[in-house]
Structure 1
Amino acid sequence: MSVRFCQSCVLPDSRPGIEIGADGVCNACKGHSDNRSSIDWAGRGQALERLFRGAKARKAAYDCIVPVSGGKDSFWQVAKCLEMDMKVLAVTWRSPGRNALGQANLDRLVALGVDHIDFSIDPSVEARFMKKTLIETGSSAVPMHLAIFAIPMRIAVQMRVPLIVWGESPFMEYGGQKGDSDLDLLNHAWLKRHGILQGREALDWAGDELTTAELAAYCPPAEEEFRQAQVRSIFMGYYLQWDPAESLRVAEANGFRRRPEGPKIGLYDYADIDCDFISVHHWFKWPKFGFTRLFDNLALEIRNGRMSRDEALAIIGRLGDQRPDADIARACDFMGLSAAEFAALEEKFRDHDVWTARDGRWIIDGFPVESRDWPAVPMERAA
């Protein structure tokens, strides 16, 4: 299979959810330029206000739950909810890879004036679960995403909180499946059809390594239970225009701090900085799909008019694949994997429809950047 790269941004059609038309432009770019220009943002803002008024009318202990990590988007979500006079319960799945900067930013977020639940899962369970999903699917982040979604949903049901306010709408920002019409909702139907969970529920992972009891924290409430509790679970990015630059401005005005060493992976020194394991998840996009976190970031910059495609390609050529060696070592130590075992997994999940073996190297035909050193990967190193 020949990989095609969008001629408007830089994303390949090997990225899940991306389709490139005959005009060479991907569906995410078309959705951004066509749909957003016709969206009645004032009307959607008013709809959000009505949702918030309805939630407050329920007179629960909290008007809404905001799932937070301590990143810039969390600050933006919380600040917006507080600005609209919502009583917020912030809920966090505590990553076993949380670092000092992540903790400091989370502390500053809570200091904005919210109650907060910091939910930890047994680290031995997390380690075994991460290792299992990495070996079977090439993603160490399946447990993370299961927990991020399930924990706030369960707490909302148990505490009768009427509304959960998530951040960006992934389909609107990155493209998605045809038929994704409920772009505002993160519910059971959304969880079932979106690829980040590998098409499996938490209990599907039970077996010799993990018991059903150990996986309980990763399970959302039953769909009927969620419906009976009358919890609404929305993407704020559907109702308010989502822009990383604006959310960063709001976050920094409220105490958020960037990574002083610069970007860890990708373009931004303010993204994916709270956890030392998330970069390992992003890294596997490279062998599996032939793009990196950097491509996602640059695509957003192009769509928001802050960068040309040529400028983005120059940055890709300069930064290379950004293999996060230090974080890989930390994650391997946590999971109990050797460096050789990790390297073998990189090759296990290399997609041969994306990568072509030629002259002793793996290459990507049609890659939009001409570079002497990459994206070619020496096969002897890969082995």
Structure 2
Amino acid sequence: MRYCIRCILPDTRPGLTIDDEGVCSACRGHEDKEFHIDWPARKRAFEALVADAKDRSSGYDCIVPVSGGKDSWYQIIKAQEYGLNVLAVTWRTPARTEIGQQNLDNMISRLGVDHIDYTINPDVERRFMKTAFEKVGATGLPMHMALFVIPIRFALKLRIPLIIWGENAQLEYGGGKDERLATDLDREWLAKHGCLQSTNAADWVGEEDLTEADLAAYSLGDTGEAAAEFKLESVFLGSFFKWNSFENARIASEHGFESNAGHLKTGTWEFADIDCRFISLHHFLKWYKFGITRSFDNLSVQIRMGMTTREEAIEIIRQKGWEAPHDDIKAFCAFQGLPEEWFWQVCESFRNPAIWHRESDIWKIRGFLIEDWAWLNSQPTCASPS
């Protein structure tokens, strides 16, 4: 594995590249944010989108997809600053946390927005998550498919001309230069970057006896022509305003958002990934596939922002270990009605042979960032490791 010389991300992370100088595309994206993007011009472009949306709307001006997290609050606050009449739309996770529900309720009441909380048949979600986990090692695939598709379908059905998403992940986490400058979340972006393994709902028909009708909530169907005809704009707010997760959390907190202080499970941000018990599993599989944990992403952002050094970040990674979210794994297995042995066996099937090898019956990553890593603490077994 080859690691960026500035942050701690390796070249195994999807979409990330490391150039001849040893600097990753995420760090180059941060350079663009700080020195090369004309943010005043981007702001004017957003103002033009807002004016167009107001001219074309007949009720709601925009949809903001929300979970209740700090970015959701920020997106609505920013939309309201520009006088947009917001409809907030949520894909309801089958594992919503208590603090997630509290933040969502407070967001609706304190920011004052109309809201749709869209619940998919839990049995359909259970079966879809099971097959996505077993087939491609991605418990979060159904989640991402639903949360991207549902707002688009509502926008077309209700004739709402604008959807405002959050961060531009290709700018924040390592896309190519052309991708970093993109503003639109469209079908091409979904296919390449939407955590969908280049699949759509139709590809999953028949798996776990799922039918086309079962998967209706996950399907864009033939909405492409309708979106083009209606001129639906679907944009990243982070492509128009410099994205800062810590600043977003601060702004959201001023309006009533609460973080998960004292209950951090994975990563280093107490204000992130707190709405759903299963999101931690999405990040956990990265250990087997790419040799990284959630903290690699969080700490790399902190390095770029000058909040910590690379050396300090490496020490934090050493101390945190492999970050297996045991309680969430138990909850997921209970949701599936399957033993934990099943979960660990599926994880093992996605161990990446390009980076992992065995030494004395212990799995290790070749060229890992930390030489004295406690590999014995990261062994999956048929029960939760000690």
TM-score interval (norm. to shorter): over 0.9
Provide the secondary structure at the position in 1 that maps to 2:139: coil
Residue-by-residue CA offset, 1:238-269 (whole Å, 9 max, x unaligned): 00000011101111001001113331211111
Larger CA deviation: 131-140 vs 195-204: 195-204
Q: Structure 2 counterpart of 1:204, which letter?
A: D
Structure 1 residues 221-245: Cα deviation after superposition (integer angstroms, max 9, x where no partner):
5211111122100000000000011
Deviation at 1:342, TM superposition (A): 0.9
TM-fit CA distance, 1:96: 0.3
CA contact (8 A) 2:16 2:26 kept: yes
Q: CA deviation at 1:199?
A: 0.7
The aligned amino acid for 1:94 is R
Distance 2:58 2:381 in 1: 61
Q: Which stretch shifts more, 16-25 or 130-139?
A: 16-25
Alpha carbons 2:169, 2:175 under 8 Å: kept: yes
Separation of aligned partners in 2, 1:77 and 1:142: 23
1:326 match: 327
Distance verdict in 2 for CA 1:34–1:55, change over 3 Å:
closer
Instruction: Confirm or deny: 8 A CA contact 1:362 1:376 kept in the other structure.
Output: no
State the partner residue of 2:2: 4
TM-score under structure 2 length normalisation? 0.95
Q: Matches of 1:140 and 1:192 in 2, distance apart? A: 17
Aligned equivalent of 1:188: 187
The equivalent of 1:240 in structure 2 is 241
1:47 counterpart letter in structure 2 = A
* Aligned residue runs from structure 1 range 205-354, under 5 A: 205-208=204-207, 209-221=209-221, 222-354=223-355
Conserved in 1, the CA contact under 8 Å of 2:168 and 2:180?
no
- Quickly say closer, same or farther: Cα 1:195–1:81, change in 2 above 3 A: closer
For 1:129-148, list aligned pairs within 5 A: 129-148=128-147
Which letter does structure 1 place at the counterpart of 2:211? T
Q: Say if 1:372 and 1:140 are closer, same or farther in 2 by CA, change over 3 A.
A: closer
Contact 2:144 2:194 in 1 (8 A): no
> Do the aligned partners of 1:60 and 1:162 also contact (CA within 8 Å) in 2?
no
Q: Deviation at 1:372?
A: 4.8
Aligned residue type for 2:105: D
Kept in 2, the 8 Å contact 1:361–1:379? The answer is no
Which position in structure 1 is the counterpart of 2:37?
39
Structure 1 runs of 4+ with >4 Å offset: 378-383
Report how many residues are paired: 381
CA distance in 1, matches of 2:85, 2:381: 57
**Contact (CA 8 Å) 2:322, 2:378: kept in 1 or not?**
no
Measured in 2, the distance between the counterparts of 1:70 and 1:313 equals 31
What is the TM-score of this pair, normalised by structure 1?
A: 0.96
For structure 2, which runs of at least 5 residues remain unmatched after alignment?
none
- Cα distance in 2 between the residues matched to 1:250 and 1:173: 19
Label 1:93 to 1:375 Cα distance change in 2 as closer, same or farther (>3 A).
farther
Query: Whole-Å Cα distance in 1 between the matches of residues 362 and 382 of structure 2?
Result: 9
Alpha carbons of structure 1 residues 230 and 34: separation in structure 2 relative to 1, 3 Å: closer
Q: 1:354 to 1:81 in 2, by over 3 A?
A: same
Change (3 A) 1:206 1:76: same
